[in-house]
Structure 1
Amino acid sequence: MEFPLSRQHFYQEIHQPDDQIDLARAALFFAQEEYPELDPDEYLNALDSMASEVEERLPETRYPLRVVQTINDYLYQDLKFNGNLEDYYDPRNSYLNQVIDRRTGIPITLSLVYLEIARRIDFPMVGVGMPGHFLIRPVADEMQVFVDPFHNGEILFPEDCQERFSLLHGKSIPFDPDYLESVTPRRFLGRMLTNLKVIYLNRGEWAKALATIERLLLLFPEAPIEQRDRGILYYQMGRWIEATQDLENYLISAPTAEDATIVRQLLKRMMEK
């Protein structure tokens, strides 16, 4: 089967060393599969223009918190970007073109807009994959502060991050300091796609969920969970040959998984029909 050109471009972008992956370009390539008329260069130019506007407003002395405040004023006061609290699970919140057009999104896509602006003004920042709420932080050894693009660029310290985590997950789940480690570009894109996958599965949109899992497997070819989920989707769609292959591979890579018995039962059911 020949993949769409947009997916081929996505594959080419992610099969580079991590430090050469262009996050925005990769995100736009996977968005292009959903929005075929999308021109990635148009949105990359939009990010360039935003960065130029921020550059003109920067103070002479670029202290990190001053730079953050300048970006915040531009994105949230002038452009009115905001976190989408009204319809958090709208799939459009996970597509960069839609986030730029609608000026609303979820933590990770708003983080991507912020990171791309920061990169263009030579203010290095990285993504922070805290479970349940993506953050970013400046790359500055002398300080450990975090920025929450979903909440208007609010500045957080590690204690604030821990409090936010507890609000999301409850105090019974311990906070691991590793949650505040930076993520690689591949992990960043993987989290964006995982969000989309969950949304499409919950909406029963099997074909879109399948396309999302296929892109996750381009990022992480050996990921057992993605093989399992693709196999289950194939089963739901009546594609039992492909389902059998994926589910058998899953059991080979994860023979003692908690759901191994259920997967074996599913395979048996397909063999008996």
Structure 2
Amino acid sequence: MHFSSARLYFSQEVQQSDERIDLAKAALYIAQEEYPDLNVAEYLNTLDRMADEVEEDLSISRYPLQIIQSINLYLYSNLGFAGNRTNYYDPCNSFLNDVIDRRMGIPITLALVYLEIARRINFPMVGVGMPGHFLIRPDIPDMEIFVDAFNGGEVMFAEDCENQLSQVFQQPVSLRPEFLAPVSNRQILARMLNNLKYIYLKEQNLAKTLAAVERVLLLFPEMILEVRDRGLLYYQLGQYAQAVDNLQTYLDKVPDAEDAVVIRRLLAELGNDWLMTND
């Protein structure tokens, strides 16, 4: 399989243990497939400089809420970072370089900028994969506050999160503990890639949809639904041998899947010419 250098760097970065993955680097390698000339080091330096400027304005006491206030003042008031409400599904909102350059993004990429600044000033924060709206929170025991990077760094409590969930889904939603559980670096990257996957799928850009799925599978090789989707995309792109391989793997793993009949029919349609057995 041919890897672009960006794909290779991404693959190497995410093969490490989760806590060693450099989120900003991995996110920039995602963007580098879109922008082959992207200078990753330049954007990492920009994040370093941003963190240095926040650090300069911090008081000696460094209470968590003071630090959050300082980051908020710097990012949203001084630099003018904001959620892109007018063109939420623009793929640029998912590329870290664009988010830094344009100072706008979606919840997960603005949260990524926030997390990277916090990490550099030794204020540990973690991502919170709330359905429909990504949040972050200080990684401090018994400190149940959340930060909404999309909405100017608004500080929220659990009941605020429940209200926001109800707004997102336009119906009352009860908060479950897993909604506010911290997520891993791999999960953050997969969520970014899934955003791109659905944007490109909607645009019927199958090659870019496939590229997003392939990188999700570098993060989580066992995600069997992604294996199925990769097979279906290969089929639509006319890469029949790879389609058969992936769809057969899917059926081997989940023979009783709801769509098993459809997938079997598709494999039969592809015909014996393409069926590669392991005999």
TM-score range, shorter chain: over 0.9
Partner of residue 111, structure 1: 111
* Secondary structure of 1:62 counterpart: coil
Distance 2:269 2:252 in 1: 19
Partner of residue 94, structure 2: 94
What code does the residue aligned with 2:77 have?
Answer: Q
Residues 84 and 106, structure 2, Cα contact 8 Å, conserved in 1: yes
Partner of residue 48, structure 1: 48
TM-fit CA distance, 1:175: 3.0
Question: For structure 2, which runs of at least 5 residues remain unmatched after alignment?
Answer: 274-279
Distance change (3 Å), C-alpha of 1:175 and 1:256 = farther
Distance 1:149 1:173 in 2: 22
TM-fit CA distance, 1:149: 0.1
Deviation track 1:23-82 (CA, whole Å, cap 9, x = no partner) reads 000111121111011010000000001001100111221111110010001000010000
TM-fit CA distance, 1:172: 5.4
Partner of residue 143, structure 1: 143
Partner of residue 220, structure 2: 220
What code does the residue aligned with 1:20 have?
Answer: R
1:67-78 superposed matches below 5 A: 67-78=67-78
* Secondary structure of 2:155 counterpart: strand
- Please give the TM-score of this superposition, normalised by the length of structure 2: 0.95
Distance 1:15 1:272 in 2: 36
Partner of residue 237, structure 1: 237
What code does the residue aligned with 1:15 have?
Answer: Q
Partner of residue 162, structure 1: 162
Distance 2:171 2:141 in 1: 30
What code does the residue aligned with 1:22 have?
Answer: D
Distance 2:24 2:55 in 1: 19
TM-fit CA distance, 1:174: 4.0
TM-fit CA distance, 1:258: 1.7
**Two-structure CA RMSD over aligned residues (Å):** 1.3
Partner of residue 133, structure 1: 133
Partner of residue 179, structure 1: 179
What code does the residue aligned with 1:180 have?
Answer: L
Residues 111 and 127, structure 2, Cα contact 8 Å, conserved in 1: yes
Deviation track 1:69-97 (CA, whole Å, cap 9, x = no partner) reads 10001000010000000110000100100
Question: For structure 1, which runs of at least 5 residues remain unmatched after alignment?
Answer: none
1:21 counterpart = 2:21: yes
* Secondary structure of 1:67 counterpart: helix
1:251 counterpart = 2:271: no
Residues 162 and 174, structure 2, Cα contact 8 Å, conserved in 1: no
1:190-201 superposed matches below 5 A: 190-201=190-201
TM-fit CA distance, 1:171: 3.1
Distance 2:256 2:81 in 1: 46
What code does the residue aligned with 2:208 have?
Answer: K
TM-fit CA distance, 1:170: 3.6
Distance 1:254 1:69 in 2: 49
What code does the residue aligned with 2:11 have?
Answer: Y
Partner of residue 59, structure 2: 59
Deviation track 1:194-222 (CA, whole Å, cap 9, x = no partner) reads 11111111110111111111111111112
Partner of residue 30, structure 1: 30
What code does the residue aligned with 2:37 have?
Answer: E
What code does the residue aligned with 2:126 have?
Answer: V
Distance 2:263 2:153 in 1: 44
Deviation track 1:106-159 (CA, whole Å, cap 9, x = no partner) reads 000000000000000000000000011000000111320000000000000011
Deviation track 1:145-184 (CA, whole Å, cap 9, x = no partner) reads 0000000000000111111111112435543221100001
* Secondary structure of 1:261 counterpart: helix
Which deviates more from structure 2 when the two are superposed, residues 215-224 or residues 162-171? 162-171
Distance 2:204 2:94 in 1: 17
TM-fit CA distance, 1:240: 1.5
1:10 counterpart = 2:7: no
Distance 2:261 2:35 in 1: 39
